Structure 1
Amino acid sequence: MENSKVVAGGSLTQRLEIQEVFEHLSAREKLYAHHMSRAAWDGTRIILRQVSFEAEQIFDLILELYQSCSGDWTLLMENCDVDQKNLDNLLEYAALFLGNIGNYYSEGDQKITSALTKTALFKFGRASAKSRALLENVVPAMISPHPSSLRFPSPNTQSGYYPGPGILSRQEIVEITRVLDSRSIEPENTRIQKSVQDGRVVYDVLQGSTEIGSEEESTQINGAIATICVVRGDYSDILKNVCASLSKASEYAATDSQRAILDDYIRSFTTESLDTYRESQKKWILEKEPVVENIFGFVEQYHDPLGVRAESPGLVAVTDPEETAIFKRFVDEAPKFLRMLPWAAGASENDGRGPFEKTSFEAPEFTSIHALAYCSTIIFEGINLPNYNDIRETVGFKNVIIANRMRANVEGMSAGTLVKKSDMESLGRCRHRVRFVSTAVHELLGHSASKLLTRDRDGGANFDVNNPPINPLTGKPVTSWYRSGQTWTTVFENLATSVEECRASLVAAYLMDVPELMELFGYTDTGGVTAEELLYNTYLLLAVEGVESLQHYSVENKGQAHSRESFGILK
């Protein structure tokens, strides 16, 4: 696989190396990985529909043009009577589209538009009858700068999570989400579509499942009577293919627990049940060190403007045993580093971790993996899942570093004119090392450190309600906490992921000057790259990434969560 992005003056392509670890798999493991990868790619069309109305048809157009010339772009030029410049413009647009899985940038959510004119685009319709038909539908969307970004629906913005002719206001979306919450319908695998039928306002809540059905009831939205109709069967055609590939993969699963995880995936995608998906996550956490790792489901909430509806990525990867051994040592030492965090300073309770940490640190799975198929708008270097806090506290969680993604990303980076010439050489040598260590800390301690203070419906709590913890910022007892069923994403909505990523990155930056931590990863004051040099470049890289994050900013859309995190830290 290759990781491509267009840069000023040309294009930069980095290979995602996988062959070495893949060749160590047995024939059965390779077949398992193959069918799991098919499931991931099958699910890509869900993501396209979550991005925009036109994204899936543009995807089909790109595939059709490729197939019409069997990948021989010179032949496409001849068949369509276009010159090299027009072909280059088409391929640049296709590369950006495929790299972001949609016609909006995955970071910043700003629209990708084609440099081709309407006339030039329609020339490519000569490739086939199908390409002509698709172009009729998508050319306006490919060349128009509007809707300019992915936000709450408006004349200038759109969101695939809120499709349809009726424009939903933010307040309507919030109220509908609260109504669903009161009925224990979780939002992750839903979209909302507004219409007017026989003079009445109808809100269709589309649930991702292969099964089809609906239930409706009257309620009040914005003070007016409206109908909410919960409609099962969103993405039904796609999820049937995903489930078929998962079922085939199950025939080659290495363990009964792997098969049980896939069975839960299939049942969840069939029935829309997120309770069944939660059960899959509990089993997934307990599946220790699988040779072939996977992540499926409606899990990433970065692109929903409300921050509660989730993208459905598919990741299939092969474990790297040597790098995983380093992470195991880090996990073993993790409780010691938790005691060094500022909210635990001087604490004697909870084994020195203080009242804001869990009573016990359940050693999570932490592995280094190489992506074989990674179908997502954002290709992360590290992942910490699941996002369900109750499961994290009672069962645990997993951390993974996607090693081949990280290497390709770092090798393709250039600080350009952002740093002094005297720092360029050092940053070049240290950048990958900084990203490796800081991402490891970010995922293991950043996302897992601390707990949500919560009271349940029966009055129970995970803290002493008669003697609440002292807020380290005010010196007084805390006065608020989470209610049963609430999570940080439902409370803080679209701000939640930015704050969470900022917290995780700052935990990493805070601990990067701890000698014991640096030594664990092989950096001391006597090595080729010293711990001091690594620390200097950690802060230099924070500054560089803070400035670079501005490329994803617009007035309408304040930027993707990780970009906002980087700029917030720079400030």
Structure 2
Amino acid sequence: MAALAITSCASKATDQAAADDFDYTVDRFADIEVLRYKVPDFEKLTPQQRILIYYLTEAALTGRDILWDQNGKYNLAIRDLIENVYKSYDGDRESKDFKALETYLKQIEFANGIHHHYSMDKFTPAFSREFLAENVAKLPADKQPENVDTLYEVIFNPSIMAKRVNQAEGQDLIATSANNLYEGVTQAEVEKFYNALKDTTDATPVSWGLNTRVVKENGKIVEQTYKVGGLYSDAITRIVDLLGKASQYAENDTQRGVINKLIEFYTTGNLKSFDDYSIAWVGDTDSKVDFINGFIESYGDPLGMTGAFESIVNFKNEEASHRTELISGNAEWFEQNSPVDPRFRKDKVKGVTAKVITAAILAGDSYPATPIGINLPNANWIRAAHGSKSVTLENITQAYDEASHGNGFNEEFVIDKETSDLMDKYLFITDNLHTDLHECLGHASGRLLPGVDPDALKAHGSTLEEARADLFALYYLADPKLLELGLLDNPDAYKAEYYKYILNGLMTQLMRIEPGKDVEEAHMRNRQLISAWVFEKGKADNVIEMVKRDGKTYIKINDYAKLRDLFGQLLAEVQRIKSEGDYEAGRDLVETYAVKVDPQLHKEVLDRYATLDIAPYKGFVNPVYTPVTDKDGNITDVNITYGEDYLPQVLRYSEQYRTLPANSK
């Protein structure tokens, strides 16, 4: 494929030609489809802004090895092993074993490790141990791991490191999880360790465990801190250097201060410094270029404490941000009209800002699979005292939308043409509005009662937090306020999102689950919890029913107004659970509605999906940024190209951004 380039001097005609020729689909393997996304209006940024983006993208990609190591202690060594065999293989590249090795390589690159990014189950190679060993033996001595037999056992023995994150109720979630966030400790020991550190009277608690690996040394539990001079020092030192270069091109002093605060956190590992950085980041609302970089989301930790390395570099989509600015500008109205108990609402909503962004790079835990919206910071007290920032990645949602045209989903699963037509007309905008409301107001809404531990919901915290934000968005998506604000032009438009959400939560997301397995990923549990709860509670009024036609099950929503009321009731209960730290009620809600799967319905969904050519999971390759330099080697501008394919990109990343040694022991 010819590379498509847009530079600072590109004309609109050139830009349009590039857009007309843009091919979103890059690769397809296993249960994955890899896409590419556009970065519209990059050429309209100033050279200073483009250079700032370049250094921030370099800092983002430099953290790649950190995530791989967080996800599993043998991941980097296995990545080296498989990549080296793949690149040096001199046999028949169309053979069954080699094609299976290629697929396995693509899978682990996509998942940033040997476990599926969503199910958390370990990948099962379709090539033999003998095939791999035969080709490893052909590698040069410096390419052979110190203890290759250990790696073979990890790769091929299904009982070893079987699941990266285990959420099964009643088990030791640390001992049974294969991530590399803990070593030699039990769940009870870790919980006791952090409970001893927490001060329940502290109104501004740090995010304990956010940037540490917890291990036992000489019988004592200690934290290994991610910082310069600590764990992951080589990678973090390079990130700090690149952030320092980025700060020289900051748009203003506020943005420069944000970058410098992040450097301080990376240098010291001090969690108070991270809070200072988060407060400064929330306060920077004037810069066009923005970024997240650090240890952020904790879905990869069974206890929901340690943040995975993640980074997204972006710039504001001025036109599309009008809708999010309208929403955030009315945050006080939404909070005070929420169906939750007034005791659990914020007395005053502070600093809620939202914008639609154009993603320029995806990295760490946001690559290749990425969120479509973000709301940060995660600390409840910072949200209450200083506010939060919400973003919707519209060039990513646009790529998803473009790639899904004509895939046959509506014809197979939607109950009638009237509903299908409504979805065709309004689903893109209502989907984006759902994301806006979820990120901008849902996560930012409500408050904890004084003295409630932010980690009180433990392993179920992530699921319930996502449910809380989704319910807030669903409830308000049907509110006349959105029509009043001009965000929707049809009072029935919300029904497109309601139908898609219930269909997904009760049925179609099951295509991501293997037969006989439970629902485990937090976002999937959230969606099933909401959908199954409203389905059950609405039975008396026949709000939702499952209709059989020609042996196929369809979702039929009979009363959208009552469905909205049910969303409000569940929102009130989930907010109460969070505000009071009611672990038992939260656990019961999750275990009752979010985990178990109807095997007959599951089989039906899988069989119907098999007739379509739709990959359950999608992710992205990044554009390539190339600096333009003068005769003295100084960067004067940056070009963007879109032609790089999936395997060439991840293999290049493994070479260009290698920062950490492999652990083969």
Q: CA deviation at 1:14?
A: 2.2
Q: Which residue of 1 aligns with 2:158?
A: 145
Query: 3-state SS of the aligned residue for 1:318?
Result: strand
Query: 3-state SS of the aligned residue for 1:105?
Result: coil
Q: Which residue of 2 aligns with 1:535?
A: 495
Query: 3-state SS of the aligned residue for 2:198?
Result: helix
**8 Å contact kept, 2:63–2:364:** no
Specify the code of the residue in structure 1 equivalent to 2:156.
I
Distance, in Å, in 2 between the alignment partners of 1:143 and 1:412 is 35
Q: Which residue of 1 aligns with 2:544?
A: none
Distance, in Å, in 2 between the alignment partners of 1:385 and 1:156 is 30
Q: Which residue of 1 aligns with 2:216?
A: 194
Distance, in Å, in 2 between the alignment partners of 1:61 and 1:128 is 12
Give the direction of change, closer, same or farther, for the CA distance of 1:337–1:121 in structure 2 (3 Å limit). same
2:350 is the alignment partner of 1:362? yes
Taking the TM superposition and a 5 Å limit, the aligned residue runs for 1:308-327 are 308-327=305-324
Tell me which of 294, 300, 305 is aligned to 1:303.
Answer: 300
Tell me which of 183, 189, 194 is aligned to 1:172.
Answer: 189
**8 Å contact kept, 2:505–2:527:** yes
Taking the TM superposition and a 5 Å limit, the aligned residue runs for 1:95-174 are 95-122=106-133, 124-125=135-136, 126=138, 129-133=141-145, 136=148, 138-146=151-159, 147-149=161-163, 150-151=165-166, 157-163=177-183, 166=184, 168-174=185-191
Tell me which of 62, 70, 73 is aligned to 1:53.
Answer: 73
Q: Which residue of 1 aligns with 2:467?
A: 502
Query: 3-state SS of the aligned residue for 1:94?
Result: helix
Distance, in Å, in 2 between the alignment partners of 1:570 and 1:330 is 25
Range that drifts further, 271-280 or 26-35? 26-35
Q: Which residue of 1 aligns with 2:58?
A: 38
2:417 is the alignment partner of 1:405? no
2:433 is the alignment partner of 1:434? no
Specify the code of the residue in structure 2 equivalent to 1:288.
T
Distance, in Å, in 2 between the alignment partners of 1:3 and 1:307 is 34
Specify the code of the residue in structure 2 equivalent to 1:544.
N
Give the direction of change, closer, same or farther, for the CA distance of 1:85–1:446 in structure 2 (3 Å limit). same
**8 Å contact kept, 2:335–2:349:** no
Taking the TM superposition and a 5 Å limit, the aligned residue runs for 1:111-510 are 111-122=122-133, 124-125=135-136, 126=138, 129-133=141-145, 136=148, 138-146=151-159, 147-149=161-163, 150-151=165-166, 157-163=177-183, 166=184, 168-181=185-198, 186-194=208-216, 197=218, 201-211=219-229, 233-343=230-340, 354-377=342-365, 379-412=370-403, 415=409, 417-420=412-415, 422=417, 423-424=419-420, 426-454=422-450, 482-483=451-452, 486-487=453-454, 490-510=455-475
Give structure 2 stretches of 5+ with no counterpart: 1-22, 167-171, 533-665
Q: CA deviation at 1:145?
A: 2.7
Distance, in Å, in 2 between the alignment partners of 1:87 and 1:364 is 52
Give the direction of change, closer, same or farther, for the CA distance of 1:182–1:452 in structure 2 (3 Å limit). closer
Bigger relative contact order, structure 1 or 2 (CA pairs below 8 A, ≥6 apart): 2
**8 Å contact kept, 2:98–2:127:** no
**8 Å contact kept, 1:4–1:99:** no
TM-score normalized by the length of structure 1 = 0.77
* 1:38-90, Cα deviation, whole Å (9 max, x unpaired): 11111121111111111122333465567x5xxxxxxx55x244435444323
Give the direction of change, closer, same or farther, for the CA distance of 1:438–1:24 in structure 2 (3 Å limit). same
Aligned pair count?
A: 487
**8 Å contact kept, 1:4–1:95:** no
Give the direction of change, closer, same or farther, for the CA distance of 1:274–1:418 in structure 2 (3 Å limit). same
Q: CA deviation at 1:431?
A: 3.4
Distance, in Å, in 1 between the alignment partners of 2:445 and 2:51 is 37
**8 Å contact kept, 1:37–1:373:** yes
Specify the code of the residue in structure 2 equivalent to 1:399.
S
Distance, in Å, in 1 between the alignment partners of 2:348 and 2:174 is 47
**8 Å contact kept, 2:505–2:530:** no
Q: Which residue of 1 aligns with 2:601?
A: none
Give the direction of change, closer, same or farther, for the CA distance of 1:533–1:329 in structure 2 (3 Å limit). closer
Distance, in Å, in 2 between the alignment partners of 1:342 and 1:154 is 37
Specify the code of the residue in structure 2 equivalent to 1:180.
L
* 1:337-364, Cα deviation, whole Å (9 max, x unpaired): 33332126xxxxxxxxx44322322242
Give the direction of change, closer, same or farther, for the CA distance of 1:299–1:510 in structure 2 (3 Å limit). same
Give the direction of change, closer, same or farther, for the CA distance of 1:314–1:11 in structure 2 (3 Å limit). closer
Distance, in Å, in 2 between the alignment partners of 1:41 and 1:552 is 30
Q: Which residue of 2 aligns with 1:511?
A: 476
Q: CA deviation at 1:284?
A: 0.6
Identity within the alignment, %: 23
Q: CA deviation at 1:279?
A: 0.7
Distance, in Å, in 2 between the alignment partners of 1:519 and 1:87 is 59
**8 Å contact kept, 1:21–1:319:** no
Specify the code of the residue in structure 1 equivalent to 2:198.
D
Q: CA deviation at 1:377?
A: 3.0
Specify the code of the residue in structure 2 equivalent to 1:181.
K
**8 Å contact kept, 1:52–1:102:** yes
Distance, in Å, in 2 between the alignment partners of 1:57 and 1:398 is 37
Q: Which residue of 2 aligns with 1:462?
A: none
**8 Å contact kept, 1:188–1:298:** yes
Query: 3-state SS of the aligned residue for 2:222?
Result: strand
Q: CA deviation at 1:522?
A: 4.1
Distance, in Å, in 2 between the alignment partners of 1:342 and 1:35 is 45
Give the direction of change, closer, same or farther, for the CA distance of 1:491–1:156 in structure 2 (3 Å limit). closer
Distance, in Å, in 2 between the alignment partners of 1:391 and 1:109 is 31
Give structure 1 stretches of 5+ with no counterpart: 69-75, 212-232, 345-353, 455-481, 526-530
Q: CA deviation at 1:265?
A: 1.2
Distance, in Å, in 2 between the alignment partners of 1:402 and 1:83 is 38
Q: Which residue of 1 aligns with 2:580?
A: none
Query: 3-state SS of the aligned residue for 1:13?
Result: strand
Distance, in Å, in 2 between the alignment partners of 1:339 and 1:513 is 17
Distance, in Å, in 2 between the alignment partners of 1:58 and 1:544 is 35
Give the direction of change, closer, same or farther, for the CA distance of 1:257–1:143 in structure 2 (3 Å limit). same
**8 Å contact kept, 1:99–1:377:** no
Give the direction of change, closer, same or farther, for the CA distance of 1:279–1:570 in structure 2 (3 Å limit). same
Q: Which residue of 1 aligns with 2:635?
A: none
**8 Å contact kept, 1:364–1:398:** yes
Distance, in Å, in 2 between the alignment partners of 1:369 and 1:60 is 35
Q: CA deviation at 1:157?
A: 3.9
Give the direction of change, closer, same or farther, for the CA distance of 1:449–1:367 in structure 2 (3 Å limit). same
Q: CA deviation at 1:502?
A: 0.3
Q: CA deviation at 1:155?
A: 7.5
Specify the code of the residue in structure 2 equivalent to 1:315.
I
Distance, in Å, in 1 between the alignment partners of 2:386 and 2:174 is 42
Query: 3-state SS of the aligned residue for 1:505?
Result: helix
Give the direction of change, closer, same or farther, for the CA distance of 1:306–1:42 in structure 2 (3 Å limit). same
Q: Which residue of 2 aligns with 1:90?
A: 101
